[in-house]
Amino acid sequence: MINIILFGPPGSGKGTQAENLIEKFNLKQISTGDLFRYNIKNETELGKAAKSFIDKGELVPDKITIDMLIEEVKKPTDSSGFIFDGFPRTVAQTEVLEKIVKDVLNAPINICLALVVDDEILVQRLLKRGKTSGRTDDSNEEIIRNRIKEYYTKTAEVAELYKQQGKYVEVNGVGEISEISEKLFNEVKKIS
């Protein structure tokens, strides 16, 4: 089993690269952003609770996010491991993830792969995506900059925890999608 955290700021390409990684290594992707959007679309209680935070570009509170993640990890799967995309985004979420992979999957997080992209490129990418994605949080620059700010104030410190464990690897997230995928594949091959 291989368990990967795909890490990086909003717009760094986690979703795109997760698609390539799941295919290559037969993994199941768990994207908390996608799960929230699914719940918002279907107007569930969870979706209603998350929407106001997402629309402002703020993180959804840990309790809501963590309960949703645990449900997802517990679902049966025949994949060879997981890609966590957009989770963990806080130190508290990291602690829960470490515990749940150990208790439910009886396996560790093997690697935290971080996509590195300059802030101004992130803003441009997200504004461009907003023109077609229909995502409210991609619709204006102020919300986008708030998401990036949330990343630096609450999420970036997650990287330190994996650096301490020697599991943190940075990959340049600017360039051809396929080239970035190759670099990510190589990092996964080194540990599997």
Task: From 39-47, 70-78, 83-91, 175-183, give the range in contact with ligand ADP by CB under 6 A.
Answer: 83-91
| Using rule CB under 6 A, residue 54 touches ligand ADP | yes
| Using rule CB under 6 A, residue 39 touches ligand ADP | no
Other beta carbons within 10 Å of 96: 18
Q: How far is the CB of 14 from ligand ADP (least distance, A)?
A: 6
| Using rule CB under 6 A, residue 125 touches ligand ADP | no
| CA-closest candidate to residue 151, choices 66, 56, 86 | 86
| Using rule CB under 6 A, residue 18 touches ligand ADP | no
Strands (E), the chain: 2-7, 28-31, 81-85, 111-116, 168-172
| Using rule CB under 6 A, residue 86 touches ligand ADP | yes
| Using rule CB under 6 A, residue 83 touches ligand ADP | no
Name the one residue in this structure whose structure tokens are 């749940």: 100
Show the tokens assigned to 18: 């997760």
For 5, which DSSP code? E
Task: From 7-15, 71-79, 111-119, 181-189, give the range in contact with ligand ADP by CB under 6 A.
Answer: 7-15
Residue 80 or 154 having the CB closest to ligand ADP = 154
From CA 124, how far away is CA 23, in angstroms rounded? 28
Name the burial class of residue 35, with classes exposed (0-12), middle (13-18) and buried (19+) by CB atoms within 10 angstroms of its CB: buried
Name the one residue in this structure whose structure tokens are 């990959």: 171
Which residues from 127-186 bind ligand ADP, rule CB under 6 A?
137, 147
For 189, which DSSP code? H
Task: From 39-47, 82-90, 113-121, 176-184, give the range in contact with ligand ADP by CB under 6 A.
Answer: 82-90
From CA 158, how far away is CA 76, in angstroms rounded? 27
- Given candidates 5, 18, 40, 60, which one binds ligand ADP under the rule CB under 6 A? 60
- Given candidates 22, 59, 96, 158, which one binds ligand ADP under the rule CB under 6 A? 59
Footprint on this chain of ligand ADP (rule: CB under 6 A): 10-11, 14, 32-33, 36, 53-54, 57-60, 65, 86-87, 89, 93, 137, 147
